[in-house]
């Protein structure tokens, strides 16, 4: 059956949630929030001819399809997709909506990428073999046991393990620091377990048996906090979903602090994570809903220096 642009757009709309922006035929791009900036950050070799690639936690398959585009002779994408075998099965089952996004992109791209339901905790050479390049991006801070994930990933790596992760630069920079934030993040970022310093991630890799560990990219987000002005009495929701429960209404006037630097598209709406300060000084976390990203009020940044700064890091590990 021959597809046209309308067919491709229809297939994309039928996926409830896209995490990745993937370029599809006829100039259609999926409406995720992670795209070329991740590909550029990870900086895969431009040519992967005769190389094999494993993408751990592939989600919609952005990096797996990019590796295939660059000529890799074999690409395997693994994920649980339904949350089974993860530390937060209910959250990930909700986030993924099963592997629908991956399968739609896979079909529309006529891709030969192999895929397998597998948790990083169960990853081993006996199950998947070994690969020249192993990618593990945006995963470690979602795990209760990130060290085991690195150890398992190294066990299936022949040439390079490439890790991309969130990291923090705290006031005691230079120390191998790991902060357990699962409880404090339960309302705003319920799937985040840890915050790591760059040195901590390096030490994890060395302890897991790596021969060489090199930081290839380190990007810190701008200093300060983001604010936006929203109408009074705007509802604040518990999660970005058409089935969301309203927590409260914002009764304060003026600007509210935005506890995320990005919006999420889901169920036909744009959602923005917020941290609203009450009159007694306490804060309430929740989600603001807008008809589209274009309806989100302008964001302003106030230059206040926080105790810690967040960013993204890329580490190349040689087994």
The stretch 100-122 carries a mean pLDDT of 96
Confidence grade of residue 191 (pLDDT, cut at 50, 70, 90): confident
Rounded to the nearest integer, the mean pLDDT of the chain is 88
Of residues 240 and 149, more confidence is placed in 149
Lowest mean pLDDT among 132-141, 238-247, 265-274, 279-288: 279-288
Whole-number Å distance between alpha carbons of 293 and 313: 27
Report whether pLDDT(145) > 70. Answer: yes
Report whether pLDDT(263) > 80. Answer: no
Q: Where in the chain is the domain with CATH 2.30.30?
A: 225-302
What is the CATH number assigned to the segment(s) 225-302?
2.30.30
Digit-coded pLDDT (tens) for 69-106: 999 999 999 999 877 777 888 777 766 667 899 999 99
* Distance from chain centroid for Cα 236: 23
Whole-number Å distance between alpha carbons of 125 and 157: 9
pLDDT, residue 22, reads 97
pLDDT, residue 241, reads 81
Of residues 160 and 241, more confidence is placed in 160
Report whether pLDDT(253) > 70. Answer: no
pLDDT, residue 114, reads 98
Report whether pLDDT(196) > 90. Answer: yes
Digit-coded pLDDT (tens) for 41-71: 999 999 999 999 999 999 999 999 999 999 9
Question: Are 110 and 145 in contact, with CB atoms under 8 Å apart?
Answer: no
Secondary-structure class of domain 5-221+309-318 per CATH: alpha beta
Report whether pLDDT(190) > 80. Answer: no
Q: For the chain, what percent of residues have pLDDT higher than 70?
A: 91
Extended strands (E) in the chain: 52-56, 74-79, 114-117, 131-137, 157-169, 178-180, 194-196, 212-220, 225-229, 235-237, 246-249, 255-266, 269-277, 283-290, 299-302, 309-318
pLDDT, residue 221, reads 81
Digit-coded pLDDT (tens) for 293-304: 888 888 887 766
């Amino acid at each position: 059956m021959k597809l046209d642009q309308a067919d491709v757009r229809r297939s994309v709309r039928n996926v409830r949630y896209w995490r990745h922006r993937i370029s599809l035929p006829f100039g259609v791009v999926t409406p995720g929030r992670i795209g070329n900036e991740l590909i550029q950050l990870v900086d895969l070799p431009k040519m992967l001819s005769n190389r094999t690639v494993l993408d751990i936690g592939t989600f919609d398959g952005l990096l797996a399809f990019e590796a295939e585009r660059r000529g890799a002779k074999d690409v395997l994408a693994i994920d649980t997709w339904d949350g089974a075998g993860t530390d937060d099965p209910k959250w990930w089952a909700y986030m993924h909506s099963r592997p629908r996004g991956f399968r739609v992109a896979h079909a529309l791209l006529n891709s030969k990428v192999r895929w397998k339901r597998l948790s990083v905790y169960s990853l081993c050479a006996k199950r998947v073999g070994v690969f020249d390049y192993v990618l593990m991006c945006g995963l470690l801070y979602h795990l209760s046991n990130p060290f085991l994930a690195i150890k398992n990933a190294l066990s299936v790596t022949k040439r390079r393990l490439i890790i991309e992760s969130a990291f923090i630069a705290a006031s005691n920079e230079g120390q191998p620091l790991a902060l357990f934030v699962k409880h404090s993040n339960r309302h705003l970022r319920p799937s985040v377990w840890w915050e790591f310093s760059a040195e901590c991630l390096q030490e994890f890799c060395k302890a897991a048996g790596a021969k060489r560990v090199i930081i290839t990219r380190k990007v810190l987000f701008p200093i300060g906090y983001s604010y936006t002005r929203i109408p009074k009495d705007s509802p604040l929701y518990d999660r970005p979903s058409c089935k969301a429960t309203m927590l409260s209404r914002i009764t304060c006037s003026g600007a509210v602090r935005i506890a995320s630097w990005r919006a999420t598209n889901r169920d036909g709406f744009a959602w923005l994570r917020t941290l609203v300060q009450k009159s007694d000084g306490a804060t309430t976390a929740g989600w603001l809903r807008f008809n589209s990203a274009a309806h989100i009020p302008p964001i302003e940044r106030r230059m206040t220096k926080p105790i810690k700064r967040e960013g993204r890091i890329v580490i190349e590990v040689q087994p």
